[in-house]
Amino acid sequence: MKQIGIIGGLGPESTVDYYKRIIEAFRTEGSLAAPEIIIYSVNIEEVLTLVSRREWSSLIYLLVAKIKALHRAGADFAVISANTPHIVFDEVQAKSPIPLLSIVTATRDKSKELGLKKVGLLGTKFTMQTNFFSQQFSEQDISVVVPPTAAQDYIHDKLMTEIELGIITDETRKGLLAVIERMIATERIDGVILGCTELPLILDKSEFGIPFLNTTAIHVEKIVACMKQS
């Protein structure tokens, strides 16, 4: 079985979700067997500072260094357990000593499988204000739209001050759902990407008759399939 290396800590809550989901996927009745997982938990504040300053070369260097460490520890392939760092995914992949599985590509493929044509994207401001999702999705003729600026500010603030810290409230859940409901009415979206791996912790089921694309679950599905390859 292949060993997975995970760049985690982006943030810690979603890294725990990744770990639990991967373990659960291998669990069988009457057995304690579990896959080997190597996690390099990085400083989320350092990563977000580099992103906010658009210091892309430093971000690439940081991520590649962590992947090389995972490789030395025995990982056969690796993932970044967050959406925002995928701003530089192509550059990191080009320098990586092992294959990487992209959360964006996995989510795009799932959207295509579901027959979606126009999806909303929620995430950090960095994710919503750059085009790394829309570029990949356009290859499958799927358009990606984001909320208005004020809603982006609201989502980002709630992620940074509550959800990333493990604070989950009904008030914030209702606020996020209101953003999605408005996008359905104004943009006619037929699905929504939970483009931050913390968002599925608060938006844990689909609503309004459209699929909520849990990027963590979608990514883990690809990870497990790759781990099981001989």
Q: Are 81 and 15 in contact (CB under 8 A)?
A: yes
Residue 78 φ then ψ, to 5°: -145, 165
Q: How confident is the model at residue 1 (pLDDT cuts 50, 70, 90)?
A: confident
Give start and end residues of each alpha helix (H) in the chain: 12-26, 44-52, 56-72, 89-95, 103-113, 125-128, 132-138, 149-161, 170-187, 215-227
Per-residue confidence (pLDDT) for residue 29, from 0 to 100: 76
**Average pLDDT estimate for 225-229:** 91
| Fold topology of 104-215 | Rossmann fold (3.40.50)
**Global pTM value:** 0.93
pLDDT digits (tens, 9 = 90+) for 88-115: 999 999 999 999 999 999 999 999 999 9
> d(Cα 213, Cα 208) in Å, to the nearest integer?
13
For residue 122, the tally of other CB atoms under 10 A from its CB is 26
Per-residue confidence (pLDDT) for residue 230, from 0 to 100: 59
Q: Where are the domains of the chain?
A: 4-102+218-227, 104-215
Q: Choose the CATH number for 4-102+218-227 among 3.10.180.10, 3.40.50.1860, 3.40.50.970, 3.40.50.720.
A: 3.40.50.1860
pLDDT digits (tens, 9 = 90+) for 114-146: 999 999 999 999 999 999 999 999 999 999 999
Q: Do domains 4-102+218-227 and 104-215 have the same CATH topology?
A: yes
